[in-house]
C-alpha cells in the first residue's frame, strides 16, 4: 500500500485532471488539493472519491485551503487555481515555491502548467533550489501531442512511436527525427522529407496542451518517480543562460526518481539540431 501523500497546489482544471489521474494510478495513499477556494477544492476531491468504486481505486482525496498541507508530502505539484486566477506563475508562483521549500525541504516540486518556465528558472538560479527538485512536465504532454500528429501522418498508433522533444516551446521545438522510431523502424525511413516538413510547420500550433493533457503528463511523470520506472520523460528543466542572473528553463529528456530528476539524458542530435538547441538555450 503506498504511503506517500501528493499535494496539488490549486483546484483548477489542470489540478483536478492531475488529481484524478494520480488517484486512479494508486501511487499515493492520499492526494490533497490546496486552493483559497476551499469549497471548490473539497468539491472536486469529493467527485474523485465518489468515482473510486466505479473505477476501482482506493486513493484517499481531500481539499483544503491550508498551504501547510505540504508539510511531509512526498511530491508537491504546482498547478492552477480555481476561477480566473489560473496557473500559479510569475512572482506569485515563485513566492509559493519558496514558501513550499521552507515548509518541506525534501519533496520534488512538479510544475504542471504551461506558464511556469520562469518559476522553474528563478527557483533554481535565484532561490537556490536544486535543479533536480523543481521541474515542469508540460513538455511531456507536448511530446504526446506530437506523437499523435506523427501517427496520423504515418497511419499508425501513438503507442508505436518513440520520439524526443528538446528546445523551448512554442517557437523553438526541436524533434530529433534521426533518433525517432515508428513501429521499430527509423522515422526517417518511414516519413518522407515533405512529410517531416509538414510536421515541422505544425509543431508550434500544438502548444499549449489542454488541461487534461497537462494533468495526464504530470501524473505520468509522478508515477515514474514513485515507482522508479526507467522511462525517459521530456521535462522543463532549469538551465544557465550567459549574462542572466536568473537563468531560464528548456525542454530536455530526463529520468526521474522519488526526489526528482535523477539524470539528464543527452539527446541524440544531428549537427543541425545541436546548433538549433544551443541557439535556443542561449536566448
Residue-wise pLDDT for 21-62, tens only, equals 999 999 999 999 999 999 999 999 999 999 999 999 999 999
**Grid cell in block for residue 178:** 534521426
What pLDDT, on the 0 to 100 scale, is given for residue 188?
Answer: 94
Q: In the predicted model, what is the mean pLDDT of residues 173-194? A: 94
pLDDT score for 53: 93
283: pLDDT strictly greater than 60: yes
* Residue 3: count of CB within 10 angstroms of its CB: 8
Element holding 25 (H helix, E strand): helix 13-25
Question: Terminal CA-to-CA distance of the chain, rounded, Å?
Answer: 46
Phi-psi region of 247 (alpha: psi -120 to 50; beta: other; left: phi over 0): left
Residues 214/137, Cβ–Cβ less than 8 Å: yes
Count Cβ atoms below 10 Å from residue 163 Cβ, excluding itself: 17
Torsion sign across C-alpha atoms 217, 219, 221, 223: negative
Q: For residue 218, what pLDDT is reported?
A: 98
pTM for the whole thing? 0.95
In order of their start, the domains of the chain are: 5-138 (3.40.50.720)
User: Is pLDDT above 60 for 63?
Assistant: yes
Q: What pLDDT band is residue 16 in, cutting at 50, 70 and 90?
A: very high
What per-residue confidence (pLDDT) applies to 248? 81
User: Is the CB of residue 261 less than 8 Å from the CB of residue 159?
Assistant: no
The predicted-structure confidence for 199-236, as pLDDT tens digits, reads as follows 999 999 999 999 999 999 999 999 999 999 999 999 99
259-268 pLDDT, tens digit each: 999 999 998 9
pLDDT tens column, 147-163? 999 999 999 999 999 99
For the stretch 169-182, pLDDT in tens is 999 999 999 999 99
Question: In which band, very low, low, confident or very high, does the pLDDT at 2 lie, cut at 50, 70 and 90?
Answer: confident
Residues 124, 122: Cα–Cα separation, whole Å: 5
pLDDT of residue 247: 58
Rounded to an integer, what distance in angstroms lies between the CA atom of residue 4 and that of residue 23?
12
Residue 280 pLDDT:
82
Q: Residue 279: its pLDDT value, please?
A: 87
Average pLDDT over residues 66-88: 97
Amino acid at each position: 500500500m503506498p504511503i506517500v501523500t501528493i499535494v496539488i497546489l490549486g483546484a483548477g482544471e489542470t489540478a483536478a485532471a492531475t488529481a484524478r489521474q494520480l488517484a486512479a494510478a494508486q501511487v499515493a495513499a492520499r492526494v490533497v488539493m490546496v486552493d483559497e477556494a476551499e469549497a471548490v477544492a473539497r468539491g472536486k476531491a469529493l467527485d474523485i472519491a465518489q468515482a473510486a468504486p466505479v473505477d476501482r481505486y482506493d486513493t484517499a482525496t481531500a481539499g483544503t485551503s491550508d498551504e501547510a498541507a505540504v508539510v511531509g508530502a512526498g511530491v508537491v505539484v504546482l498547478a492552477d487555481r480555481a476561477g480566473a486566477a489560473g496557473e500559479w506563475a510569475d512572482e506569485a508562483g515563485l513566492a509559493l515555491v519558496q514558501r513550499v521549500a521552507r515548509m518541506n525541504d525534501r519533496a520534488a516540486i512538479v510544475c504542471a502548467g504551461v506558464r511556469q518556465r520562469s518559476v522553474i528558472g528563478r527557483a533554481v538560479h535565484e532561490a537556490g533550489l536544486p535543479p533536480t527538485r523543481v521541474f515542469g512536465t508540460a513538455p511531456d504532454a507536448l511530446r504526446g501531442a506530437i506523437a499523435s500528429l506523427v501517427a496520423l501522418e504515418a497511419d499508425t498508433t501513438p503507442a508505436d512511436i518513440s520520439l524526443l522533444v528538446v528546445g523551448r516551446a512554442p517557437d523553438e521545438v526541436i524533434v530529433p527525427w534521426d533518433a525517432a522510431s515508428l513501429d521499430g523502424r527509423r522515422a526517417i525511413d518511414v516519413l518522407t522529407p515533405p512529410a517531416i516538413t509538414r510536421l515541422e510547420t505544425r509543431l508550434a500550433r500544438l502548444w499549449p496542451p489542454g488541461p487534461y493533457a497537462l494533468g495526464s503528463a504530470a501524473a505520468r511523470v509522478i508515477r515514474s518517480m514513485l515507482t522508479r520506472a526507467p522511462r525517459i520523460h521530456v521535462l522543463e528543466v532549469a538551465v544557465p543562460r550567459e549574462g542572466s542572473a536568473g537563468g531560464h528553463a528548456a525542454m530536455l529528456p530526463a529520468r526521474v526518481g522519488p526526489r526528482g530528476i535523477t539524470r539528464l539524458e543527452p539527446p541524440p542530435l544531428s549537427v543541425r539540431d545541436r546548433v538549433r538547441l544551443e541557439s535556443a538555450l542561449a536566448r
